[in-house]
């Protein structure tokens, strides 16, 4: 990913938190020299390896898994993003842009063939996404359903070899311009605009005194 120095985010704790908050990713591999991709929830296991490991599954009917084992694959995760109007800078010689946050994850695709390990991926995924709900759903008591489900999916893990984080939030502009953009985004009030404004505020230096 092209990352100018002003936009680079390399803190592993920050990147891991992002992957957990924005876990619906785009998994990219190749088949016969042609890029293929699938949109999937990918669960971060922080305990495996230096950078962690992604866990997931896809439909067995999806041909991507057939060529992916052993490949170096790319998982793309995106966060809040929004258009930035040059009028908000209140400055000369500026142009429109797009502010966004994204993380790219690289690693080797490893298929999970053991049914117990695959079931473990499902259980961990359900527990992660159901947490915080008033009545969390679980796989307990669904053995018949699970027996039918497992043969229809393919599990995988991707030990993370490299992460790239890009926080493109106007850090290449003077603080005064960034503050004007933040005010404009808050005034617009949409979910994406407010989320980007909050991220931009975190990049500002603390007030003096």
Strand partners, 104: 76, 164
> Which sequence spans correspond to the domains of the chain?
5-173
Closest CA to 106 of 44, 160, 64, 156: 160
pLDDT tens across 148-191, in order? 889 999 999 999 999 999 999 999 999 999 999 999 999 999 99
The CATH code of the domain at 5-173 is: 2.30.110.10
For 121, the 3-state DSSP assignment is helix
pTM of the model: 0.93
Are 12 and 51 in contact by the 8 Å Cβ rule? The answer is: yes
């Amino acid at each position: 990913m092209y990352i100018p120095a002003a936009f680079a985010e390399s803190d592993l704790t920050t990147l891991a938190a992002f992957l957990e908050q924005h876990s619906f990713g785009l998994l990219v591999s190749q088949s016969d020299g042609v890029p293929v991709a699938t949109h999937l929830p990918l669960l971060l296991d922080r305990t495996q390896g230096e950078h962690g490991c992604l866990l997931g599954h896809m439909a067995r009917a999806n041909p991507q898994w057939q060529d992916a084992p052993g490949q170096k694959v790319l998982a793309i995760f995106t966060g809040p993003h929004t258009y930035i109007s040059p009028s908000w800078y209140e400055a000369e010689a500026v142009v429109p842009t797009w502010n966004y946050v994204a993380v790219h994850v690289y690693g080797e695709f490893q298929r999970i063939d053991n049914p117990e390990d695959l079931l473990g991926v499902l259980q961990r995924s359900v527990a992660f996404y159901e947490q915080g709900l008033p009545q969390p759903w679980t796989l307990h008591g669904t053995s018949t359903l699970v027996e039918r489900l497992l043969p229809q999916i393919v599990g995988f893990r991707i030990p993370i070899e490299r992460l790239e984080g890009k926080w493109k939030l106007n850090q290449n502009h003077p603080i005064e311009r960034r503050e004007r953009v933040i005010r404009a985004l808050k005034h617009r009030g949409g979910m994406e605009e407010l989320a980007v404004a909050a991220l931009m505020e975190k990049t500002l230096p603390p007030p003096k005194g």
